[in-house]
Amino acid sequence: MNNITEVKSARTGDKYYKIEHSSGLTIYLYPKPDYNSKYAIFGTRYGSVNNAFSLDGGEVRRVPDGIAHYLEHKMFECEDGDAFVKYAKTGANANAYTSFDKTCYLFSCTDNFDESFKILLDFVQRPYFTEQTVAKEQGIIGQEIRMYDDSAEWRVMFNMLENMYHTHPVQLDIAGTVESIAKITPELLYDCYYTFYNLNNMVLAVAGDLSVDDILKTADEMLKPCEKHSIESFFEDEPYEIVSDYVEQKFPVSVPLFNLGFKEKAHKVSQKELAEIEIIISILSSPSSELYKMLDDAQLINQSFDCEYFNGPGYNAFLFSGESRAPKQAAEMIKKYINSIKENGIAPEDFEIARREVYGDAVSGLNSVDNIANTMADFHFNNLDIFGIIDDIAATTAEDVSRRLSGILDTDNSTLSVVTSEE
């Protein structure tokens, strides 16, 4: 029996449906009447950091680094043909990605949604691995790993993570290493698949001019019921302190790149906390912010400057990034500004500009079917609500933000990663 809940937003007038499907899968449908584009994303709570886990309280299994990403690559190869070839016939634009904490398969289309939807539900539930195809993929992913090793943007980020985290696997490349993927076998892929690709550990989010009946007709036909299991991932104890405060690598770049990371105590983020953090990020990095103007006036940043909140199982951090002719000077200005607003407070007008900007971005994001579905899938894994976050942003006060700011962004627990020219 499917359990269907309609969720309405009094603030925006929109609604979505949450469907607890009889198969064990949670499905979200966000109807967008009269929209041409349709989007679907099918994801599992399984990413690169989940390399030590147990099933139903059994023994802890440790698998090679990069196996979640490897599995994502192999899922498109079906016994009856490649899924990308099938999508090409429907005209859908399909893709997939593996992050630190999840793996997702997605497509967008304007026509032939039903056919593309069936392809998605079919190949993600039907793994097919052989010794020959797994061995072939090792060479392909090995090339991908070497390509990322040659990417300045990739190296500046992972150099930072390696200097922030002592033991947590978030410091490891999502794709693993050439040595680690050489240990992957069809048996290991099947073991990980049947552990993490259980529908009870997954989510499906769809947005577009679609009805519940449209989705359930295919879901009831295609989804294979799964017995619910308990999955637990294990991580070694991670100190609060960073490893070191500076790392530099020479690279053929025209302008130096930097990542400045502020390590936080690992914890699960509440919806209210996330709303406050988004406003703080706007105060610190929006082009309309005082800090951005200071950095720009000093010619220490360009339009690439950004800040994000980076969190998942066992890791939380604030990451500033961008190009800068003087990364150390930019980092010092950022830290000095953070300490200044902690001590002196945030100007009321700066808070209000940031709150309105974050609120406007959240509401305008509801006009994009891909943003809606991606956000709903991500929020499902973090027990957040796409309408609830908008309400929390609207209700956040300057006092809430000041209180939150006082306990985060420890400038004595930050690391600066720089990639600079060999000249």
pLDDT tens-digit readout, 21-45 = 999 999 999 999 999 999 999 999 9
Q: How confident is the model at residue 81 (pLDDT cuts 50, 70, 90)?
A: confident
CA–CA gap between residue 173 and residue 357 (Å, rounded): 34
Residue in 95, 87, 94, 105 with CA at minimum distance from that of residue 46: 105
Q: How confident is the model at residue 142 (pLDDT cuts 50, 70, 90)?
A: confident
Number of Cβ within a 10 Å radius of residue 270? 13
Given a contact cutoff of 8 angstroms between Cβ atoms, the answer to whether 363 and 357 are in contact is no
Number of Cβ within a 10 Å radius of residue 180? 19
Q: What is the mean pLDDT of residues 304-319?
A: 97
pLDDT of 86 over the 90 cut? yes
Q: What is the pLDDT of residues 146-159, one digit of tens each?
A: 888 889 999 999 99
Q: What is the pLDDT of residues 198-216, one digit of tens each?
A: 999 999 999 999 999 999 9
Q: How confident is the model at residue 312 (pLDDT cuts 50, 70, 90)?
A: very high
Distance of CA 232 to the CA centre of its chain: 20
Question: Rg of the Cα trace of the chain?
Answer: 22
Residue in 193, 176, 190 with CA at minimum distance from that of residue 64: 176
Q: How far is CA 408 from CA 49, 318, 330, in A?
A: 24, 9, 20
Residue in 193, 184, 212, 190 with CA at minimum distance from that of residue 44: 193
Q: What is the mean pLDDT of residues 43-59?
A: 97
Q: Which amino acid appears at position 50 of this protein?
A: N
CA–CA gap between residue 277 and residue 389 (Å, rounded): 11
Strand ranges for 45-123 from DSSP E: 52-55, 61-62, 77-78, 81-82, 93-98, 103-109
Q: What is the mean pLDDT of residues 237-266?
A: 96
CATH class, domain 3-233, is alpha beta
Helix (H) or strand (E) holding 202: strand 202-208
Which ranges constitute the DSSP H helices of 150-254?
152-164, 178-181, 186-196, 212-222
- Which DSSP category does 224 fall into? P
CA–CA gap between residue 415 and residue 160 (Å, rounded): 7
Q: Which two tokens stand for residue 314?
A: 């066992």
Q: What is the pLDDT of residues 404-418, one digit of tens each?
A: 999 999 999 999 999
What's the CATH fold of domain 246-420?
Answer: Cytochrome Bc1 Complex; Chain A, domain 1 (3.30.830)
pTM for this prediction: 0.95
CA–CA gap between residue 113 and residue 31 (Å, rounded): 14
Q: Which two tokens stand for residue 265?
A: 């105590």
Assess whether 352 carries a catalytic annotation: no
Q: What is the dihedral of CA 48, 52, 55, 61, to 10 degrees?
A: 130
> Which of 72, 238, 276, 278 is an active site residue?
72
pLDDT of 423 over the 70 cut? no
> Where do the CATH 3.30.830.10 domains begin and end in the chain?
3-233, 246-420
Given a contact cutoff of 8 angstroms between Cβ atoms, the answer to whether 283 and 292 are in contact is no
